Structure 1
Amino acid sequence: MNRGAPASARLWLRPGLVGLHLFAIVAVAFCVFMGMWQLGAYDSRQEHERADKQDVPRVAFAGLWGEDEPFEARLNHRPVAVEGEFASATDQVWVTGKQQGGRTGAWLLAPLIVGGDQALLVVRGWAPSVTEFPPVPAGTVTVAAVLEPGEAIGTAFDTDRREIGSVRIPALTNELPYDLYSGFAISTSTAVAGGLDLVPPPKPGDVSWTVGLRNLAYAFQWWVFGAFAAFMWWRMSTESVAAARPKVA
Structure 2
Amino acid sequence: MNDRPGLGAWFGPRVIGLHLFAIVAIGFCLFMGTWQLGVYDQRQADESEAEPGAAAVPLTQVWASDDVFTKDQDQLPVTVTGTFRPASEQLWVTDRSQGGDAGAWLVAPVTVDDAQLLVVRGWAPEVSPPAAIDVPAGEVSFQAVLQPGDAAAAGWDAQARTIGSVRIPTLLNELGYDNLWSGYAISTDATVAQGLALAEVPESDVSWTAGGRNLGYGLQWWVFAAFALFMWWRMAREIVLGDKR
Task: Give the TM-score taking structure 1 as reference length.
Answer: 0.75
Is the Cα–Cα contact under 8 Å of residues 142 and 187 in structure 2 kept in the other structure?
A: yes
Is the Cα–Cα contact under 8 Å of residues 46 and 207 in structure 1 kept in the other structure?
A: no
Match among 120, 124, 128 for residue 127 of structure 1? 124
Structure 1 partner of 2:186: 186
Q: Supply the distance in 2 between the matched residues of 1:85 and 1:207 (Cα, whole angstroms).
A: 31
1:70 matched to 2:68: yes
Instruction: Single out whichever of 233-242 and 182-191 deviates more from structure 2.
Output: 233-242
Q: Deviations over 1:9-51 (max 9, x none)?
A: 3256585x67875774465244224314423543664686589
Once the two structures are aligned, what percentage of the paired residues are identical?
Answer: 42
Q: Deviations over 1:78-110 (max 9, x none)?
A: 222211122233332211111123211000111
Structure 2 partner of 1:197: 197
Q: Deviations over 1:192-218 (max 9, x none)?
A: 324322213368xx9959584414532
Structure 2 partner of 1:9: 8
Q: Supply the distance in 1 between the matched residues of 2:183 and 2:142 (Cα, whole angstroms).
A: 16
Is the Cα–Cα contact under 8 Å of residues 39 and 215 in structure 1 kept in the other structure?
A: no
Q: Give 5+ residue unaligned stretches, structure 1.
A: none
Task: Give the TM-score taking structure 2 as reference length.
Answer: 0.76
Structure 1 partner of 2:104: 106
Q: Supply the distance in 2 between the matched residues of 1:181 and 1:120 (Cα, whole angstroms).
A: 5
CA gap 1:60/1:5 in 2 versus in 1, 3 angstroms: same
Q: Supply the distance in 1 between the matched residues of 2:231 and 2:186 (Cα, whole angstroms).
A: 57
Q: Deviations over 1:201-237 (max 9, x none)?
A: 368xx99595844145325513541453255247636
Is the Cα–Cα contact under 8 Å of residues 19 and 232 in structure 2 kept in the other structure?
A: no
CA gap 1:189/1:9 in 2 versus in 1, 3 angstroms: same
Is the Cα–Cα contact under 8 Å of residues 124 and 198 in structure 1 kept in the other structure?
A: yes
Structure 2 partner of 1:169: 168
Give, in angstroms, the shift of residue 54 of structure 1: 1.9
Give, in angstroms, the shift of residue 132 of structure 1: 0.8
